[in-house]
A and B are shown apart, each in its own frame.
Chain A
Amino acid sequence: MNPILEIQQLTHTYSAGTPFQRTAVEGVDLSVMPGECVGIIGHTGSGKSTLIQHFNGLLKPTSGRVLVDGRDIWAKGGDIRSVRFRVGLVFQYPEYQLFEETVAQDIAFGPKNMGLAADEVARRVRDAAAVVGLDESLLSQSPFALSGGQKRRAAIAGVMAMEPDVLVLDEPSAGLDPRGRQEMMAMLGRYRQQRRATVILVSHSMEEIAANVDRVIVMNQAKVFMDGAPREVFSRVAELEAVGLDVPQSARIAALLRDRGIPVGDDVYTVDALARRLLALKGGGVC
């Protein structure tokens, strides 16, 4: 299988040539396979927001290449807008981008920009609303009459309705309560399953990343600091904490247990897995 998204030696410098010059992303190599679910973590200012805005061509690399389906998106003769339909990007607090008179019209904005026929647009609006769990009766309402959580869903549906094969989300559950976070993750799971899509999730919550992705990329100071399966990344508790990142609480407990000579293994990072492992240990089972 070929990667759906490939980043080669990407560097991005803001305000180059001025005293405010700042390199936000430096020499990043990355390739994402179709259907993968990738989590990106890192501090504010670690370069992750800059990085993801290269995925759909909102930012142009200072140097390096971005390839979607093996093609350089900045190659001559390419259409950068078509890349944005293939790689959907949901910004942080996306509810602030709503502008139309009705929820349905707002969700239709992306598909309409794609130049689709009216009935196809309507189908996509319905489908996207269903994926995010917005009741059909809400579609004819003004987006500004919705509750905060519903607004967020409508905004995400607006990107999903373009039916991108890669869906990139910057902190989709920021500011939500635990139940809202769970629903958000369920929503993304539904989209991923239905479209067999690649999902790239930026999050500050280690617990959320640990429970939902099959690969974690850790950004630190403009570079990729770690890249691997959650169990590999979260077993390196000391290194993560050294760069000021949290680890999932369960990974920390597991590390403390290992310090106390309990062989829990270094591949547990969720509460459920840790509990199972411990019960197996107590029962004298091997693991």
Chain B
Amino acid sequence: MIQCKDVTFTYPAQEGREAQAALEGVNLTIEKGSFVAVLGHNGSGKSTLAKHMNAVLLPSGGTVTVDGMDTRDEALLLEIRRRVGMVFQNPDNQIVANVVEEDVAFAPENLGVPTAEIRRRVDDALRAVGMADFARHAPHLLSGGQKQRVAIAGIIAMAPEVIVLDEATAMLDPVGRREVLATIHKLHREQGITVVLITHHMDEALEADRVVVMDGGAIAMDGAPREIFTQVERLHSLGLAAPDTAELLHLLRSAGAQMPPDAMTAAECADAIANWLGK
């Protein structure tokens, strides 16, 4: 679906700041229909990588292709952006219109979709994110989680194949985060949308199919969540923490306990411990 080949990217020098290499040879293929979490500390390059996936940024070296379309091809820009939708961090700064449904309609309007079809897409998208009751509301009166769901609906209305969430949960409270994650998982499950979730909340990555860890502009780890989160020390060295379950099992194991390393949920973890204690 999305293919990054030897991608390098350098932010140009700015007033008071030198040119900065943000990506240094990234090779990554996002499979159609997958749910990929991209982790990494601030400045690891994860957001820069995300912005390459729909041609917000163009690689300084290497290539990024979406369904075989090179993101540097200006003529394909709209089609690439239609296929790969992006949700950003700050919910306030991506809502364009004064009324929820008008905002959701923004992208299809830009794409020249006929009025009746826009209506259908807007209603479907709002239903899919559970915001149908808010269609006529003013966005600034919604909660953070609701705003992000509206933003997601605005992307869904383009009928995209991929949604990239660029730290879209970072500014939300736990309730808002849960709402957004539940929405994303539902879209992935029910509509087969490919999801790329950029985050630094480890627990959000637990339910992904695949976890990619970025460090210093390159991919440091890549695998299933259970493979990644059992390497607790490696994660620490990359400035990340493992979920508490993995941290706990890791502590017990380093004290000599025989433990399965990959009991990721609280229940699995409790079972493993009970087992070990012989209860």
Q: Which residue of A lies closest to B14 (CB)?
A: A145
Number of interface residues of A (CB under 8 A): 40
- Given the known inter-chain contacts A44-B173, A272-B251, A275-B251, please indicate yes or no for A177 contacting B267, CB distance below 8 A: no
**Chain A's nearest CB lies how many Å from the CB of B227?**
19
A174 touches B171 (CB 8 A): yes
Q: Which of A110-118, A126-134, A245-253 contacts B (4 or more CB under 8 A)?
A: A245-253
- Given the known inter-chain contacts A262-B274, A282-B276, please indicate yes or no for A180 contacting B266, CB distance below 8 A: no
Q: Which residue of B lies closest to A259 (CB)?
A: B270
A82 near B: Cβ within 8 Å? no
Q: Which of B106-114, B150-158, B237-245 contacts A (4 or more CB under 8 A)?
A: B237-245
A261 near B: Cβ within 8 Å? yes
B143 near A: Cβ within 8 Å? yes
A207 CA / B243 CA spacing, docked (Å): 11
**Chain B's nearest CB lies how many Å from the CB of A184?**
12
Chain A residues with Cβ below 8 Å from B89 are 175
A275 touches B255 (CB 8 A): yes
A149 CA / B239 CA spacing, docked (Å): 14
A279 CA / B257 CA spacing, docked (Å): 8
B42 touches A252 (CB 8 A): no
Q: What's the A-B contact tally at a CB cutoff of 8 Å?
A: 98
A176 near B: Cβ within 8 Å? yes
A84 near B: Cβ within 8 Å? no
Chain B residues with Cβ below 8 Å from A151 are none
Q: Which residue of A lies closest to B145 (CB)?
A: A44
Chain B residues with Cβ below 8 Å from A148 are 42
A198 CA / B257 CA spacing, docked (Å): 40
Chain B residues with Cβ below 8 Å from A204 are 173-174
A228 near B: Cβ within 8 Å? no
Across the interface, B248 reaches (CB within 8 A) one of A175, A244, A260, A275, namely A275
A180 CA / B170 CA spacing, docked (Å): 13
- Given the known inter-chain contacts A253-B266, A262-B277, A262-B279, please indicate yes or no for A177 contacting B240, CB distance below 8 A: yes
Chain A residues with Cβ below 8 Å from B277 are 262, 278, 281-282
The proximity string for A residues 227-270 relative to B, scoring 1 for CB distances below 8 Å and 0 otherwise, is: 00000000000000000111011101100110111100000000
B200 near A: Cβ within 8 Å? yes
B55 near A: Cβ within 8 Å? no
Q: Which residue of B lies closest to A247 (CB)?
A: B266
Q: Which residues of B (205-249) have their CB < 8 Å from a CB of A?
A: 239-241, 243-245, 247-248
Interface residues of B (CB under 8 A from A): 15-17, 40-43, 89, 143-144, 170-171, 173-176, 200, 202-203, 239-241, 243-245, 247-248, 251-252, 255, 257, 266-267, 269-271, 273-274, 276-277, 279
**A-B residue pairs, 10 tightest by C-beta:** A249-B244, A256-B270, A275-B251, A179-B239, A177-B41, A177-B200, A178-B241, A145-B16, A260-B274, A44-B173
Chain A to chain B contacts (Cβ below 8 Å), 25 pairs: A44-B143, A44-B175, A45-B143, A145-B15, A174-B170, A174-B171, A175-B89, A175-B170, A177-B40, A178-B200, A178-B202, A178-B241, A246-B174, A249-B244, A253-B248, A271-B244, A271-B247, A271-B251, A272-B251, A278-B252, A278-B277, A279-B252, A279-B257, A282-B276, A282-B277
